[in-house]
Structures are given as structure tokens and as C-alpha cells.
Amino acid sequence: MNVARERAPRSWVVEAHLDGRGSVGPALTVFADAEIPASSSSDACSLIFDGRIDNRAELASIAALRGPTDDDAELLRLAYEQLGQLLFRKLKGIFAVVVWDARHETLVAARDPVGVIPLFYTPASGAMLLSNSIEALLRYPRVAQSVNRLSLAGHVLELWPRASETLFEAVRRVMPGTTIRCRDRRCESWRYWDPAAGEEAAPIGAEDSLKRFEELLAQALDRCLACGPAGIFLSGGLDSATVAAAAAERSRANGLPPPWALSLVYPDPSLNEEKMQRCIATELGLPQVLLPFEQAVGSSGLLIASLKAAGRSSAPALNLWRPAYETLIDEGVARGCAVILAGEGGDEWLVPHPFYAADRLAALDFAGLYGFLSARQRSTPFGWGSTLRTVLWEWAARPLLRQAAGKALHAWSPSAMRSHRSRSLSAVLPEWFAPDPEIRSALVRVATDAVADPAPLALYERATRRLAQHARLGLLMEEWFDDGRQRGVAVLEPLLDADLLQFLYCVPRHVLLQGGQTKWLARATLERRLPSLVPRWPKPVYAHPFWLSLMAREGPTAWRWLGGVPTLGELGVVDPQRFARAVERAFVSDSFSTVTRIWSVWALEAWIRPRL
């Protein structure tokens, strides 16, 4: 195996020779800047592995090993030789795997179910280059540097109809829970993981569900804590508190020091959770860092700090508060943390999807619909009027009416249905967006293709399936991976553990609403650990007002610092003059979505400018 050093922090590149051999012999050649990924070869196949295996005993049985082994790559190679690509349905953990299967002259690459470890690839002169870093791939002279204008345009709208594409034309990503198979220089993808197709049986009742949830959360945390001492992004919300409480227990059980509670303190009273953050850390016996938001982002403010950082990032940031969280990670690393835990996933998986309201209405289950409505009202700071409109109209009646109209139109004329979708998508595009008609029409076309036809599946079931496959989840995982990789620490999300997600997919929806509030599993878990706090737990806070005030206060200075969007204008993604007028309106707008879209253009401009 030939090894060369790269300069990017903790990145690697595998060169796979699609004829099964390279100029110096091996089918797979590894180039790494730091620790080389594990590898193993035989006459049947060569395998490269980066990540963590969580079911070694099961795989050892499949591989027919006669004794224990610490060689992850050897274990996987032997199991692959027995199962082939079906191995990935058995493999548990977080990983990127590359295999040259000499028996079938096929290159196989796989990414873990949730996408914790990124995996990108690009063809290059009869070979395939694969890496955990886009930047590492782009340093190769054989890899084209041209940007993907259609993906840039889609990123502005958070519309990723071709989620496997990146912002560079030559580079594609392996999607979470997916393998790619390349033979004769043709590649196809296969999704090997689906939470709906798992072996997890639906629990019968609330207590069984709670017991299983706590078991799987403990298992997920043990897997994370295998990295070493932990820090936790601790807000005042239920999700991060649940992770913190369980992590404190598992750290003691594993002989580790108590996790560090890493907390941002926001200056806006509507977003400030310092009192609750202190209470949680004190009750759990956690050491704590309480970092004022202004100190975390620096003297220039959040917006300019984000724009400056964009040019150094591998992709434009999705996390609006990324500079502040990067500082929190630094605080954790300075205190010896080897892993930082986040509470991502609770809002998506511990609460029924909004389309649960549509399903209850379709089934004429008015008691169930009222239960969802009531739980929503009791668990959020919104009044009854707003809650009624949101649940009964936006989440229940309107989706059902759209589904019925779509089915009727599709049955009458599929082409008319497609035309209607195209017109609807075109109508909502901002006036400043994609002045290049080629980009505009292409984006509408691929977005129309990505819209699923009316299907017999219930709205709720279809929406829940998509949660685990949504492009944004994979992109956020790549962002956390990049932030951790730069600092030599893992950033992990226990609530998004694949086994836990498979269980949550099967939990009866009424269990999540037990007790007349949302997130019952989290509340019940905390009641056993923080009994004095749970009855008086405040309703969640929302960052929308603070974000709007930041844009109004810091936006004009940041806009002048950026100096417009000339690069995106040259690429035909944005009309600079029209966009400048939209920016001025955004400074006084109360629309979170409008202002956030303006910001995404700024971030994209700051990211793309040094690359052209």
C-alpha cells in the first residue's frame, strides 16, 4: 500500500483503480494526512475502513473468525467475503467503507445510516477517487475545479433535488445509508438502510416504550463515550437535557469524568436560558462553561464572523450560529473533551410529524386530532388561535385537500399535473433569483421531477420516512464532522443513533403525546433524574426574533463588508441589482424565511468568492 501525506487536517483519499490494479500494483491506494484508515486485502477483495464498529461479535460470527481480532478492516473484509454488499445491512456503527471486489470487478463504497462520516467521490483518468473531504479531492490536478451552478442555485433555496451532487461539478457524495457500486466505469446507488424495514418491533404501551428508549439511548451514549471524556451542548431545552442526564449516568458507569456542560448565554431575554442551564448542570453535578454569546462570536459580531469563516469552510454553513458553536467546541477541547454531544433530532423524532394531524383527520379520529392539538398548545409558547390555524388548517385540512386535488389531476392528465407543479414552483421563486434562464428552468425541471406522485401511503408515513433521508440531515452531519475534524474531536448526536431512530420510527404516535404534552419520552426520562425540575420546565424558546434583530442591527455593516454578490451574479445565480433592493427590504422585514434566504446568499457569496 502506498501512502502520501496531505495537508488538510485528518483527511484521506483512496484511489480505486477500476481495472483492479494500479500502476504500482494494488487496487486501492490510500493517501492520508494523519492516521491512515484501516485496510485489509486478500485475493477476493481489498477494503478500506474509517469509523467505528458497534456489533463486532455479530460480524465475527459471520466472518467465522476462530479468535478475537482488533483489526476492524480485516473483520469487515472477511464478513464482506461472506455476505457481499448485504454486509451493510448488518453493519452497525458510523463509517465510510471502500471495497474493491475482485471477484466481481466492482468498486463498492458505503456511508453509515445517518451520515456521520462523509464520503465523496469523483472519476479521474480511469480511476475513482474517494475521500472524507471535498477539499482533499479538489487538491488533485486531475479533479476539475468548476462549480455546479445548478447546485449553487438550489442551495440558496435549500432545495436539493439531486442531493448526491455537491457544489462542484466533478464531485458527488455518497448519501447516508447508501452504497454506490461502480463497474465498467458505470455507477449506481443502492439504499441499504430504511428505518421502516428494520427488525425493531413496535412496543405495546408507554412503559415498554420508555424502557426501550432509555436502553437504546444508553447504548447510543456508550458508543459515543467510547471516544473518551465528553462535552455537551447544553441549552435549556428537553433534548439536550435528556442527553446530558443520560450521559452523566453513562460516564459514571464507564469510569469517565462528568461531561462538561457547554452553554451559550444569549443577550436577548426571550432567548436567554441561563437560569435553566445552571439548574440542569447543578442538579446533574456537571462542570459548566457559560459563554456569553457576544464573547463566543467575537467583537465583529455574528454576521461578519460567519462571513469571514465561510471562505475557510468546506461548504457554506447551514447552522446560523456556527461561529458561536465553534467557540464552544474549542472550550470543550481545552478542557480535555474527546467528543462533543449535541441534542439534534429531538424536534424531528420525539414529536409526531405535523402530518399526524392530517392522518387523524383523514381517519375521522377527532379525539386523536384534539389530543395532538392540545399537546401542541400546552408544549409551545403559541396561543390557541395560532395553534388552531397551524394544526387544523396547515397540518391537517390543507395537506389532505392538496393530496386529493393532486390525485384527481394526476388521474386525469399526468402531463397537466407536471405543468401545474412547474408553474407553482416558478411562481414562488424570488425576483432576484437565477436571472440566467437556463439555470432557472433547469432548477424548476429537476425540482418538479423530485416531487413524488400522489401515492397510497398515508401522509404521515411518507413524511416520517423522508426524515431519515432528507438531504439537509446529511449536510448538517458533514458540517459537524468538519467542525470536529478541524479540532481533533468528534461531534456526535446520540438521538440520531441508527438503532434509536429505527425504534422511534416504530413508536406509536400517541406514546409521544402521553400526558398531554409532546416529547413524553424525554420528559419521562428526565423525571427519573431531575424530578424537581420537570414539573416546572419552561416552554421552548424560539430564535426567530433574535435572528431578525441581529440582521437589523448587524446586517447593514455586514452587507457593506461583503460588498455585494458579484461572484454569484457572474455565475447567473443571482441578479445583483434586484438582490441589493431585496437586502434593503430585509433589514426591516419580520419574515424569518425571507431574511434567512437573504443570509444564505451572503454566506454562499463569501464561500464561493475565494474559490474562483
Distance CA 247, CA 277 (A): 16
Distance CA 225, CA 86 (A): 28
What 3-state class would DSSP assign to 29? strand
Distance CA 494, CA 259 (A): 14
Q: Which residue has the higher pLDDT, 300 or 468?
A: 300
What integer is the mean pLDDT of 442-469? 76
Q: Per-residue pLDDT for 495 more than 50?
A: yes
Which of the residue ranges 57-71, 276-290, 308-322, 387-401 would you say has the lowest mean pLDDT? 57-71
What integer is the mean pLDDT of 393-411? 88
- Domain covering 12-193, topology: Glutamine Phosphoribosylpyrophosphate, subunit 1, domain 1 (3.60.20)
The domain ranges of the chain are 12-193, 197-346+470-541, 413-454, 545-611
What integer is the mean pLDDT of 214-227? 96
What 3-state class would DSSP assign to 6? coil
Q: Per-residue pLDDT for 493 more than 80?
A: yes
For strands 28-32 and 12-17, give the pairing: antiparallel
In this prediction, residue 32 carries a pLDDT of 65
Q: How confident is the model at residue 70 (pLDDT cuts 50, 70, 90)?
A: confident
Average pLDDT taken over every residue of the chain: 90
What 3-state class would DSSP assign to 436? coil
In this prediction, residue 453 carries a pLDDT of 62
What integer is the mean pLDDT of 137-149? 90
What integer is the mean pLDDT of 113-124? 93
Using a pLDDT cut of 70, give the percent of the chain over it: 94
* Residue 295: count of CB within 10 angstroms of its CB: 12
What 3-state class would DSSP assign to 185? coil
What integer is the mean pLDDT of 587-609? 95
Which of the residue ranges 88-102, 155-169, 196-210, 579-593 would you say has the lowest mean pLDDT? 196-210
Q: Per-residue pLDDT for 25 more than 60?
A: no
Question: Is 43 exposed, middle or buried (CB count within 10 Å of its CB: 0-12, 13-18, 19+)?
Answer: exposed
What 3-state class would DSSP assign to 230? strand
Q: Per-residue pLDDT for 452 more than 70?
A: no
In this prediction, residue 468 carries a pLDDT of 77
Phi, psi values for residue 274, rounded to 5°: -60, -40
Q: How confident is the model at residue 88 (pLDDT cuts 50, 70, 90)?
A: very high
Distance CA 46, CA 49 (A): 10
- Ranked by mean pLDDT, which of 35-44, 189-198, 261-270, 439-448 comes out on top? 261-270
Distance CA 348, CA 504 (A): 10
Phi, psi values for residue 480, rounded to 5°: -65, -40
Q: How confident is the model at residue 481 (pLDDT cuts 50, 70, 90)?
A: very high
Question: Hey, do 12-193 and 197-346+470-541 end up sharing a CATH topology, with the first three levels equal?
Answer: no
What integer is the mean pLDDT of 307-331? 93
In this prediction, residue 461 carries a pLDDT of 81
In this prediction, residue 412 carries a pLDDT of 85
In this prediction, residue 1 carries a pLDDT of 27
Quote the strand ranges of 337-496, DSSP E: 339-341, 490-492
Q: Per-residue pLDDT for 6 more than 60?
A: no
Using a pLDDT cut of 90, give the percent of the chain over it: 70
Q: Which CATH superfamily is domain 197-346+470-541 in?
A: HUPs (3.40.50.620)
Give the angle 160-166-170 at the CA atoms, nearest 5°: 140
Q: Per-residue pLDDT for 23 more than 60?
A: no
Which of the residue ranges 250-259, 288-297, 396-405 would you say has the lowest mean pLDDT? 396-405
Give the Å distances, CA to CA, from 179 to 39, 51, 55, 65.
Answer: 18, 16, 19, 25
Q: Per-residue pLDDT for 93 more than 90?
A: yes
Q: Per-residue pLDDT for 473 more than 60?
A: yes
**Helix-, strand-, coil-residue percentages of the chain, each rounded to 5:** 50, 15, 35
